[in-house]
Amino acid sequence: MTALTYRTLEGDQTALPAEAVDALAASLRGRLITPIDDDYPPLRRVWNGMVDRHPVLIACCQGTQDIVQAVDFARTRRMCLSIRGGGHHIAGNAIAEGGLVIDLSAMRTVHVDPRQGTARVAPGALLGDIDRETQAFGLATPLGINSTTGVAGLALGGGFGWLTRQHGLTADNLLSAELITADGQRHHVSAEEDAELFWALRGGGGNFGVVSSFEFRLHPVGPEIYAGLVVYPYDQARKVLEAWRDFTHEAPEELSVWVILREAPPLPFLPEAIHGQRVVVFALMHGGDPASAERDAAPVLAFGEPAGQMLGPQPYTDFQAAFDPLLAPGARNYWKSHDFRDLSDEALEQTMTAAEALPGPECEIFLAHLGGAMSRVDPTATAYAGRDAHYVMNVHARWQDAAEDDRCRDWARGVFQSLAPFATGGGYVNFLTEDEGDRVASAYGVNFARLQAVKRRVDPDNLFRVNLNILPGAAEVAA
C-alpha cells in the first residue's frame, strides 16, 4: 500500500503506518476502505455535488463495536474525524478531508414495537426505511420531506416535516439513544439516564459522539392521508401568499401547508403553457381524521384561481417520497435560511422580488409553516431553541454547471440579506452551510452556553468537530 498521511486535529499532516491501517481493518466486522479501493469513489460522495473531499480512511461500520474501534483509532492519533449517516447535509460534513470517516450507511435496520408504539432505528437508516416499517402498523414519527435523508442527522439537528405541527419535531419524539463518546465509551441516554447529554442530543447535532441506535415514539398516521399540490400562476403571488399567511394563523394542527416559489416543472396536471414559468406552489398534507381533511384543506383552493391541483387520499409513504425527484443527489446546492415569527407584507414583498430573480429552473424559495405542537415545548427543554419560528424559509439554490457557482450563491446570499430585517436572527442548523459557522451560537440562542458545557464534559478536545461545531466551553473557575 502507498504510504498514507492524515490531517490531525491541529491541521498538520502526519504519516499513517501501514501496520496501523492493517490493525484497524482486522478489528472491524465491516470493511476499511482506502483510496486505492474500488468502493472509495462512491463512498466519499455525498448528496451535495459541490462537496469534493478526500478522506484517508472510510470505516464501513457494521455495529457498535466497529464504531468504538474507529473512534479509538482517531482519538489516539488526534486524527480528523467525521460521521456519515445519510450523507444528505448541505454542508457535506459527512466527509472529513484527509481524515477518517465513520460510515454508518450499512446500519439501516428498523424494529417496530407496535404495542409500545416505539421504533428502534439504526443510525444509517433513511427516512424511507423508517416510513416503510412503521406504516406496516399504521404508525409514524415526524420526519423530513425527502425519503433519502438520513435519520441520524435529521434527528440530531431537530428535524421537522409534515407531522411537526401535529406531533412535534423528530427530536421531540426521541425517547432514548445509544451513544459512543470521544473516549470510546458506550452510553445509554434518556430522560432518566444522563438526562443532560440526552438534552444536548435533541438538536445539538453530531457534536457529542456517534449515535449507534435511536428509539422513537410513534403516532397513529395513515397508511392513507390527504395530501397534494395546488399551483397558482405567479401573477397571483401577492394575493395568494397573503391569503396563505392569514390562513396559517387559524389552520388546524393536523394540516401543514408549505409554499414553494419556483419555475413550474412539467407536472401532468398543469397546463403545458405554464411549464417553465414562475408559479406559487402550495404543498399540503393532512395527518388527521380523513373525514375532515378535505374540508380543512378547502381554503387553499380558494386563495385565488389555481392553474392546477392534485389533491386527494394517497399512501403516506408515497407523499413522503413525492419530492425525491427534485432533490436527487449529485447536483450543486447552496442554501440560506431564516426563521420568522410572522410574515409582514414587506417580508412577503421581498420574497416575491427574490423569486422574480430565480437564477435557474431548479432554484426555489420555500416557506414551511410550523408552530403547533413544536411551539408548545419550552425553548430550554431540548437543545433545539427555535420554538418561536412559526415559519422557516430555505432559499435553495440548485444547479448543475460549476460555471454557475458564483451567480447562484450570490443570489441565495442576496435573498438572505434582504429578508434578514424581518427574521428572528436564529436558524435551523440542518440548513446551515459550511460557511455559516458564525451562525451556530445564534441558532442555539439561550441554549448555547449549556451546550458548550456538555461538550466540555464529553468531548473536551473537540474530536467531533466536522459539523456545525459547538466549541467546548471554558471551565468554570471556582469562587
Q: Which domain holds residue 422?
A: 224-437
Is 211 in the same domain as 325?
A: no
* 321 and 369 housed in the same domain: yes
Q: What does the buried/exposed string (b/e) look like for 371-383 if buried means 16 or more CB atoms within 10 Å of the residue's CB?
A: bbbbbebebeebb
pLDDT of residue 476: 53
397 and 356 housed in the same domain: yes
Tens digits of residue pLDDT in 113-164: 999 999 999 999 999 999 999 999 999 999 999 999 999 999 999 999 999 9
Whether 86 is covered by a domain: the verdict is: yes
Same domain, 34 and 60: yes
Rounded to whole angstroms, the Cα distance separating 298 from 287 reads 15
Contact between 51 and 97 (Cβ < 8 Å): no
pLDDT recorded at residue 475: 59
Predicted pLDDT of residue 479:
34
Task: Please give the pLDDT value at position 366.
Answer: 95
- The answer, yes or no, to whether residue 309 has pLDDT greater than 60, is yes
The grid coordinates of residue 139 equal 404508525
The pLDDT of residue 1: 54
- What share of the chain has pLDDT > 70, as a percent? 98
Q: Which among 52, 79, 103 is the end of a domain?
A: 103
End-to-end CA distance of the chain: 56
- Look up the CATH number of the domain holding residue 171: 3.30.465.10
DSSP string, 395-417: EEEEES-GGGHHHHHHHHHHHHH
Task: Give the span between the Cα atoms of 164 and 449, in whole angstroms.
Answer: 27
Residue 163, in any domain of the structure:
yes
Let me know whether 240 and 215 are in one domain: no
Q: Give 10-26 pLDDT, tens digit per residue.
A: 999 999 999 999 999 99
Structural domains in the chain (count): 3
345-355 helix and 237-248 helix, angle to the nearest 10 degrees: 130
Q: What is the pLDDT of residue 3?
A: 76
The whole-angstrom separation of Cα 161 and Cα 152 is 15
Establish if 378 belongs to a structural domain. yes
Residue 463 lies in a domain: no
Do the domain assignments include residue 450? no
Last residue of a domain, one of 196, 220, 244: 220
Residue 423 CB coordination number (10 Å): 19
Q: Are residues 264 and 387 in the same domain?
A: yes
- Provide the 10 A C-beta neighbour count for residue 439: 18
Judgement on whether residues 134 and 156 belong to the same structural domain of the protein: yes
- For position 429, which CATH number holds? 3.40.462.20
What is the per-residue pLDDT for 478? 37
Over residues 70-99, the pLDDT tens digits come to 999 999 999 999 999 999 999 999 999 999
Q: Are 369 and 245 in the same domain? A: yes
- Structure-derived torsion over alpha carbons of residues 43, 108, 203, 317, reported in degrees to the nearest 10: 110
Residues 6+ positions from 321 with CB-CB distance below 8 Å: 128, 146, 147
The SS3 of residue 226 is strand
**Is the confidence at residue 430, as pLDDT, over 80?**
yes
Identify whether residues 199 and 232 lie together within a single domain: no
Mean pLDDT for all residues in the chain: 95
The pLDDT of residue 477 is 37
At residue 206, does pLDDT exceed 70?
A: yes
Q: Which residues contact 45 (CB under 8 A, 6 or more apart)?
A: 51, 87, 329
DSSP 243: H
For the four alpha carbons of 295, 299, 304 and 310, in that order, the dihedral sign comes to negative
pLDDT of residue 446: 95
Residue 238 DSSP one-character state: H
Each residue's pLDDT tens digit, 243-264: 999 999 999 999 999 999 999 9
**In one letter, which amino acid is 458?**
V
Q: What pLDDT is stored for residue 260 in this prediction? A: 98
Q: In terms of domains, do 262 and 373 share one?
A: yes
pLDDT at 2: 64
pLDDT in tens, 38-69: 999 999 999 999 999 999 999 999 999 999 99
Question: Hey, which residues does 150 pair with through a beta bridge?
Answer: 126
| Same-domain status, 280 and 339 | yes
Domain membership flag for residue 454: no
Assigned domain for 473 exists = no
pTM: 0.95
Determine, yes or no, domain membership for 453: no
Q: Rounded to an integer, what distance in angstroms lies between the CA atom of residue 10 and that of residue 247? A: 52
State how far Cα 20 lies from the chain centre. 35
Domain final position from 68, 103, 138:
103
Q: Based on the domain organization, do 332 and 383 belong to the same domain?
A: yes
- Which CATH number do you get for residue 46? 3.30.43.10
In degrees and rounded to multiples of 5, residue 199 shows phi and psi of -55, -45
